[in-house]
Structure 1
Amino acid sequence: MLALFLLIIVVILAITVFVVKNGTYDHSVRQALIHSDTSARTTAEKLVNQGTLLQTALFDLTGNFSVKQLIASAKEDTASLASAMENFQSRYEADIYFVFDNQSQVLTQSADTPLPVDPQQIYQERIAFVDINQQVYLLAAAPMKFVKTSRRIDGWIVMGMSVDNIINQRLFDITQVHISLAKLAESSKVLASTFEKNLFEQIPLKKLAASEDLQEISFNSKLYFYSIQPLFEDSPYHLVLMTPEDLAFISYNTLIYDIIILMLGSAVLALLSAAILSKIIAGPIYKLVKAADHIRQGEYVTDFPHCSTNEVNSLSVAISEMQSGIQERENQINQLAFFDRLTGLPNRNQFNKTLEDVFSRESAPKAMIALIDIDRFKEINDTVGHETGDKLLTLISERMQYHANEKDLYARIGGDEFAVIFDHPDPKRATFVAEQLVNLFEQPFVIDNLVLDVDVSVGIAHAPEHAKTAEQLIQCADIALYSCKGTHTTYAVFEPSLNKYSLQRLNLMSELKEALIRGELELHYQPKIAVDTNKVDTVECLIRWIHPEHGFIPPDEFIGLAEQTGAIRYVTQWVLREALSQSQKWQAQGIQVGVAVNISAVDLADLRLPGIVSQLLTEYDVDPSLLTLEITESAIMGDPKAAINSLNSLRRMGIYLSIDDFGTGFSSMAQLKKMPVHELKIDKAFVLDLADNNDDKVMVKTLVALATNLGLTTVAEGVENQQSLDYLAEIGCTKGQGFFMSRPLPIDKFDEWFAQYTSNNN
């Protein structure tokens, strides 16, 4: 009987050992392979996500009007572009950047060595790894177009992150798998690894079989189980995943040893405790087998068996802890991929995924989103430091969540940008919702006894009215957001006109330089008549744009934009060249008439202006006294000291200087007496109704007297009738200009008018 019990126990335990060992081993192999696959996908997604985040950030950058301005003026002001790019590099947590012009020539870069590949090649690849100065970087590139719809690429921005900052010890701590990024083709080189550098350089890549199944290899005096998987389909890059044996599998020797001890103990006590041991051990072990099988199939088990047998309990705890470890690592990976580390809010990936889910649920989904941008956040960061800036972002996220609807999704999608997906979209309440979001920031934020007032801009868009896809809806909200910046309002709901206006503005600015080359711009000429002699003294040269698609474009619609972008310099140089060329032709015909050209504040601040004017005067052999430069009051008063220095240089050249639109600007008498000008041009606002308005008469008479006392000549702009001209003669005004004498005319019609006017007044 004892032998029978012993035999039964031995058979039972042997079966148990066999089932548990094989089941657990099979599960462990599958789980290790699944874990290896999960780690590979996670790493690939992390690399691709980083590349996508960089690419998205670069698209934002290349669409940013200020960045376009900096790139357009980079050759004159590289320092400003470099400073801005360093700020963007810090904001996007990038390690390196390059900025190229449309010829792929570097405008500025953070690296000590040049980029060894063309930026267009980087842009065309889904993901690019480039060795720069013995350091491998994950690079993303985006083309910059001055006009979004243009086919022409006007520049490139490239940013990258060191792959060592992505594939490192922290990744191993999360996945418990040593992951190496390698290029198996050609030189079979390891680009980055969670191993220390002195180890990963020794990985015998050529000995590794390219297989996605688990293989064994002895490396660094340890046994590793490895698999090799492509980073993504048809990629030259592969992930080598190596798991140490002690982490890949449960220790079978320990398990067998425990069971053998159990067998011996059970054999000794077989006669007394066979029945009890059968109940205590067989039941829980069977449950463990089932639990192990569930885990092997990827199912999580919540109820692990417990009993008074320590060995079974230890095994149960070990399997439970193994499952918890796997679940925890998967949660950590998910947290990294879909949540913002600073605020804990969902990140851009989660925001986009949630919005895509909304659009995928039905054919005409209803959705409403808001994009929230913190105004002057860079200024706050620069003033109080990034640590305080991070605390501010955390407080902002907490306040928004505290006041949020329970089912609304709040996300941080950028450095200082948040987004909301509303659970109950109602387009009629869009304005109310925007006001509520703005009101959240009425109360200041207190950080370490520092009180910060924060303003925001909010852009709202809703579907299906504004967009048919999630991407379009985000773009619409973004357009609404940035319309706030341009109009200095706190919120805006998207309207189609906002998008059209932005595109038209960008198109005009992009086409302006080409228009100069294609001859779409022309000068019209309006005479200034000497009041005492009725002779044409000077001709003002006024620019006109005849667009092949839009027709006549008023100067007010493109001159202001040209000043903002710096393109006004090219326009002014073109006007000067055309005006002096025409002056040369008139001199050849024996006509001694001066030409007047308007100069902007941007031109006046350009230290090269006097040299350019001097060169053109020499080129066209025009006497400097025949050139009048008209400068508005606001251009001078913006930086009086610099303006006066520039004007002094021009005056010393013999050029005639005139203050344009006098009386409508700041009209600082203290600055006026210091200005080296020859002439005041009285604004037409005081001259148009001069014949019938006594107040205008008093104002014009006062301005003429002021100019006379300062030794300046005067021009009255806006003369509409003979009575106004007679009054100007009566008070001693020097010149008159207006529609009464002539409208601005193209050169052929002006020549006809001039010939007839000269004949009539001789």
Structure 2
Amino acid sequence: MKLLKVRSLQSKILILFIFLLLIVQLVSFFSTYQASQKLERTQLNNRIINATNVFKTQINNRRYYLSAFAETAAKDYGLKSVLEEDNKSFLIALNNHRKRINSNLAMAFDMDGIVFAQLVTYKTPDGKEKVKIGAGQGQLFDQQNDFIDEDNAQLVKLNGQLYQLSLAAIKSGDRTIGWIGFGYLIDTELAQELARLTDVNIAFAIESDTGYLITANSAEERYPIDSNLFSAIIKKTEKHYIYQQYSLGSVGSDKLIALLFKSKVDVLKTVGVQWENLVLLITLTLVLSIISALAIAKSITRPITQLVSQVKAITHGDYDGNVAVEGSEELYQLSNEFNHMTKAIVSREETISFQAFHDPLSKLPNRNALINELNKRKVSNLDFLVIQTCFIGAADITDTLGYKVSDDVVLQVSNRMLKSQLPIACFHLGNENFVLLVENQSVSPLIEQLLAELNIQCQFESISLHLQFVIGVAVSTLHNGHNVDELLQKSNVALQYAKKNKKSFQIYEPQFDINALERLFLTNSLKKAIEQNELVLFYQPKMTLDTMTISHVEALVRWQHPDKGLIPPDSFISIAEKTGQMGALTRWVTTAAINQYVKWRNQGVDISIAINISAENILDKSYPDFVIALKQQYQLSDNAITLEVTEDAVVADPEKATEILSYLSEQGFKLSIDDYGTGYSSLAQLKQLPVQELKIDRSFVQNLSTDESDKIIVHSTLELAHNLGLSVVAEGIEDEPTLLWLKSLGCELAQGFFISKPLPVDTLNLWMENTSYNINRIEA
């Protein structure tokens, strides 16, 4: 212990001074370390996110470019003019088009899928690019259906090479006579080009049932294709690299994925240099401090005490005090430097704090600052409005004009917010989203003034943009005593409601949450309802007008929920369409309706049943086989079942719809166009469809007795249908004059509440027994 006892005052001063400096340096080092760690995480995250966004943009641009050029080439009159001439002339014309975009693949095939022209590029030993006739010329292109059914460029593997390919139809008039396509190689050169643009390494890998195969790599010398690094990235176990996987699509039964990766060490090189400089600075500071301490006289005990006190204050986060030392010039200089060091620490902490509570682009307070502000207002008795707003089309601005213009738009919007006299405070939540806090007042005039201030043009050199803002409002007094999370949630719910319904603003209403919860409940319960037969069918009679006989019914599905009772179709049909359950729902309706038809047939009642099928059913190749199997199983006549399809379902994909409907018609099913007049089908499309019946929408029928314009429309529709050889069903008949007027014009079938509303089967059976109308029955 005696060895540790220091008697020399100079030694005590030296030891104490070094100790104090170490504490100060550690405090500074710790603060800098925390900031540096956060900066490292942010830099790593931003690098891979930005690289991924750039990668997606480049791939999408290539896809769009190929699609657009293929469409242009397909319409070229010169190309089509040599199509039926000798193959050599067509190859020359095709190659000229290929040169325009420097594509690696150009091909054309006929309607049977036979490739009658194929050009591919290859590299000569001296690195020059040449073009030759592809091995697939004259062969069947077995992936034609996969490409024809898609709008965008797809992936294809030809002769061991991967291509990004886009096709376009070659037409002669309205008739498609072939297909032409152009493609780019997906190879090492592409990987290197994308790596240069994204500043990360790029690799392409084929995923199959047997594993992964690296097909191209931007840095093959550093990362060979058999490197264990790729396996670790794919399995997401690699810890020393930042990486991201991006699916590019399917190649046959396999998938092509892109791997974006970069060593964390490479990303953080600049941070490492800063740490080296910091260590050097600390070392130099310590050395200089020790040398200075040796020259300090014994009389500096009191100044040292002052320094110790200041160090303790700094340790506890108190940076307000300054060291004022009376004595020699050396001590004065030491105290002055100490104060400068304290100010530097304060400056760094202020910078970190500003970054934590402000948006880096607009410099407006961010979400963290908003949460703090709302928490402060929780204890106040003042009412206020939370206004959440954004401008429409932010993504389009970025995609079309670039990030610089997009950032300039955000800055101009931020400046408008700051200049406005309306808000107490404004906050930027990132991208196009802003939040304003406003004193509680009449909302409509406030919103009108705010929109007037925001909805003005933004000028960028020669570009003029007119921004359109959407606003969601939540009032603080309506939401559980200024609950912060609820306020932000409600304002966002109101904003999303306004966007969805194309409104300029919306004040939050409690039923928004109720509707959202109700819809979520139905979404989660619908699959079980179909499986457990919670659905029921209602039937609405149709009358054959020339005999005034009930001969048809339409099957309308309802949901008999055990807790919520009878749920109308408007509440769950859209859910079924969006959640992919429309196929199962239609199959249930089809099975139930056919079973009911069989029961009526066994009772001697001959009632044809109409079943509604959706666009999803039309595009589902398995549905026709399903309904045909039921028809054969129950030995149904051709008039037993009518399949009703809406105009919109046909317009979605006319060619495929026509193909499926023709197949159903050939199998003996009667087909009807439902809700005619509300969709966008043309007369030319209607003429081509293999339908036997046209159903006029209720909106044109229900007011026929009072609306002359509706009479004109219905009259012309009847004439059109009859001229095309179609029978007509009028839906929505509400009175007898309408019924008799339609009968006089030769309308075949009538449906509406005047005859009967939709009824469950038991009630319908009683109705048929008691009605004065004739019921179509099977003749003995």
Counterpart of 1:380? 397
Counterpart of 1:254? 288
Check 1:683–1:491 CA distance in 2 against 1; reply closer, same or farther (3 A cut). Answer: closer
Higher mean displacement: 446-455 or 28-37: 28-37
Check 1:621–1:444 CA distance in 2 against 1; reply closer, same or farther (3 A cut). Answer: farther
Counterpart of 2:494? 480
Counterpart of 1:552? 566
Alignment partners' CA distance in 1, 2:15 and 2:39: 35
Counterpart of 1:352? 371
Counterpart check, 1:450 vs 2:463: yes
Q: Which amino acid aligns with 1:396?
A: V
Q: Which amino acid aligns with 2:697?
A: D
Counterpart check, 1:412 vs 2:447: no
CA deviation vs aligned residue, 1:630-671 (integer Å, no higher than 9, x gap) = 123344445555544443343333321112233454574343
CA deviation vs aligned residue, 1:95-114 (integer Å, no higher than 9, x gap) = 9xxxxxxxxxxxxxxx9879
Give 1:328 shift: 2.9
Superposition map of 1:337-736 within 5 A: 337-359=356-378, 361-362=379-380, 364=381, 366-403=383-420, 408-422=424-438, 425-426=439-440, 428-468=441-481, 469-563=483-577, 566-589=580-603, 591-606=605-620, 609-618=623-632, 621-623=635-637, 625-637=639-651, 640-641=654-655, 643-666=657-680, 668-688=682-702, 699-720=713-734, 724-736=738-750
Q: Which amino acid aligns with 1:570?
A: A
Counterpart check, 1:25 vs 2:23: no
CA deviation vs aligned residue, 1:547-603 (integer Å, no higher than 9, x gap) = 334333333343345445554443323222222232344445555433211233444
**Given that residues 17 and 304 in structure 2 are in contact (C-alpha distance below 8 angstroms), is that contact kept between their aligned partners in structure 1?**
no
Superposition map of 1:34-53 within 5 A: 34-35=27-28, 38=31
Give 1:484 shift: 0.7
Q: Which amino acid aligns with 1:676?
A: P
Alignment partners' CA distance in 2, 1:307 and 1:548: 88
**Given that residues 388 and 433 in structure 2 are in contact (C-alpha distance below 8 angstroms), is that contact kept between their aligned partners in structure 1?**
yes
CA deviation vs aligned residue, 1:158-177 (integer Å, no higher than 9, x gap) = xx999959995676788x69
Check 1:249–1:570 CA distance in 2 against 1; reply closer, same or farther (3 A cut). Answer: farther
**Given that residues 537 and 594 in structure 1 are in contact (C-alpha distance below 8 angstroms), is that contact kept between their aligned partners in structure 2?**
yes
**Given that residues 559 and 566 in structure 2 are in contact (C-alpha distance below 8 angstroms), is that contact kept between their aligned partners in structure 1?**
yes
| SS of aligned partner of 2:427 | strand
Q: Which amino acid aligns with 2:390?
A: D
Alignment partners' CA distance in 1, 2:599 and 2:335: 101
Counterpart of 2:124? none
**Given that residues 24 and 292 in structure 1 are in contact (C-alpha distance below 8 angstroms), is that contact kept between their aligned partners in structure 2?**
no
* Residue in structure 2 matching 1:133, options 238, 244, 247: 238
**Given that residues 342 and 390 in structure 1 are in contact (C-alpha distance below 8 angstroms), is that contact kept between their aligned partners in structure 2?**
yes
Counterpart of 2:160? none
Counterpart of 1:234? none
Check 1:113–1:655 CA distance in 2 against 1; reply closer, same or farther (3 A cut). Answer: farther
Alignment partners' CA distance in 1, 2:263 and 2:357: 20
Check 1:171–1:461 CA distance in 2 against 1; reply closer, same or farther (3 A cut). Answer: farther
Check 1:172–1:698 CA distance in 2 against 1; reply closer, same or farther (3 A cut). Answer: closer
| SS of aligned partner of 2:688 | coil
Alignment partners' CA distance in 2, 1:368 and 1:138: 43
Alignment partners' CA distance in 2, 1:759 and 1:456: 59
* Residue in structure 2 matching 1:331, options 345, 350, 354: 350
Alignment partners' CA distance in 1, 2:587 and 2:637: 18
CA deviation vs aligned residue, 1:600-628 (integer Å, no higher than 9, x gap) = 34444555544444455456554555321
Check 1:653–1:292 CA distance in 2 against 1; reply closer, same or farther (3 A cut). Answer: same
**Given that residues 115 and 132 in structure 1 are in contact (C-alpha distance below 8 angstroms), is that contact kept between their aligned partners in structure 2?**
yes
Check 1:447–1:165 CA distance in 2 against 1; reply closer, same or farther (3 A cut). Answer: farther
Structure 2 residue runs of 5 or longer lacking an equivalent are: 1-6, 47-148, 154-200, 202-228, 245-259
Check 1:546–1:50 CA distance in 2 against 1; reply closer, same or farther (3 A cut). Answer: farther
Alignment partners' CA distance in 1, 2:22 and 2:503: 61
| SS of aligned partner of 1:732 | coil
TM-score normalised per structure 2:
0.63
| SS of aligned partner of 2:473 | strand
Alignment partners' CA distance in 2, 1:503 and 1:555: 18
Alignment partners' CA distance in 2, 1:376 and 1:477: 20
Alignment partners' CA distance in 2, 1:114 and 1:535: 73
Counterpart of 1:9? none
Alignment partners' CA distance in 2, 1:44 and 1:702: 75
Give 1:516 shift: 2.0
Check 1:167–1:357 CA distance in 2 against 1; reply closer, same or farther (3 A cut). Answer: farther
Alignment partners' CA distance in 2, 1:162 and 1:312: 51
Please give the root-mean-square deviation of Cα atoms over the aligned residues, in Å: 4.8
Alignment partners' CA distance in 2, 1:690 and 1:369: 49
Q: Which amino acid aligns with 1:442?
A: N
**Given that residues 539 and 760 in structure 2 are in contact (C-alpha distance below 8 angstroms), is that contact kept between their aligned partners in structure 1?**
yes
Give 1:541 shift: 0.6
Q: Which amino acid aligns with 1:417?
A: N
Alignment partners' CA distance in 1, 2:699 and 2:320: 85
Higher mean displacement: 473-482 or 530-539: 530-539
Give 1:477 shift: 1.0
Structure 1 residue runs of 5 or longer lacking an equivalent are: 1-12, 54-75, 81-94, 96-110, 117-129, 140-159, 179-242, 267-277
Alignment partners' CA distance in 2, 1:163 and 1:369: 44
Check 1:402–1:723 CA distance in 2 against 1; reply closer, same or farther (3 A cut). Answer: closer
Give 1:366 shift: 3.5
Alignment partners' CA distance in 2, 1:577 and 1:285: 94
| SS of aligned partner of 2:722 | helix
Q: Which amino acid aligns with 1:418?
A: F
Give 1:488 shift: 0.9
| SS of aligned partner of 1:658 | strand
Alignment partners' CA distance in 1, 2:679 and 2:243: 53
| SS of aligned partner of 1:464 | helix
Corresponding pairs, count = 579
Check 1:301–1:563 CA distance in 2 against 1; reply closer, same or farther (3 A cut). Answer: closer
| SS of aligned partner of 1:133 | coil
Check 1:760–1:708 CA distance in 2 against 1; reply closer, same or farther (3 A cut). Answer: closer
TM-score normalised per structure 1:
0.64
| SS of aligned partner of 2:347 | helix
Alignment partners' CA distance in 1, 2:508 and 2:43: 30
Give 1:540 shift: 1.1
**Given that residues 233 and 243 in structure 2 are in contact (C-alpha distance below 8 angstroms), is that contact kept between their aligned partners in structure 1?**
no
Alignment partners' CA distance in 1, 2:607 and 2:630: 17
| SS of aligned partner of 2:747 | coil
Give 1:711 shift: 0.7
CA deviation vs aligned residue, 1:125-168 (integer Å, no higher than 9, x gap) = xxxxx9623457899xxxxxxxxxxxxxxxxxxxx999959995
Q: Which amino acid aligns with 2:526?
A: L
CA deviation vs aligned residue, 1:415-470 (integer Å, no higher than 9, x gap) = 33222234xx22x2433333333223322222343222222221122323234211
**Given that residues 598 and 629 in structure 1 are in contact (C-alpha distance below 8 angstroms), is that contact kept between their aligned partners in structure 2?**
yes
